[in-house]
Structure 1
Amino acid sequence: MITEVTDFYLYVREALESVISGNMEEYAFDGNLLGLEIGKEITEVYFQFEEEILGNPCLIPTNELYKLVLEWKEIEDRMHRGEDTFPLMIED
């Protein structure tokens, strides 16, 4: 996710929004190391290297992936602004 969301954030976000909103039925995205088969309910996430899929895909609800992408970008932006993005918390 680091590479794909950082390098292709707008592209990934727009693809997810298009499928979630119903403007597109499904969408396939191939990034540097990650491939996505975005469906209305479920997205397949798979690791790829030089056009070869490595291992089995991970399935995640599309709306959950969308939330993760937005949260990742928000934390990344906060980090670049020098904000404390991951405060240390000690629990008993």
Structure 2
Amino acid sequence: MLSSLRKAVSPGRKGERATPPRGERQRKQHNLFDAAATYVAASVEDDQERMDEASGWVSPEALSFGVNELACRAVTALARESGQSPRTVARTLLGLSAD
């Protein structure tokens, strides 16, 4: 399922030009995962300029989806590494009681 989503949001999908017309400057295409990773890393590093740049690569909805997906994957990875439940890891990261 994720591979289908990646294909749908990645550059070069059916209907898009693989190369720009002659004379047009080639601009790197960013997908929502690229934007989300850059945005979150910039946020951690308190780099507002880079956050602004990344947020312009995709729609706000796509960026939100990408950040959510990154959070889910990060919590899952941390939970596996620590042997704790994803719920416990998420609550701990946010400074909440483990309840």
Compute the TM-score of the two structures, normalised by the length of structure 2. 0.32
Higher fraction of strand: 1
Greater Rg over alpha carbons, structure = 2
Compute the TM-score of the two structures, normalised by the length of structure 1. 0.34
Higher fraction of helix: 2
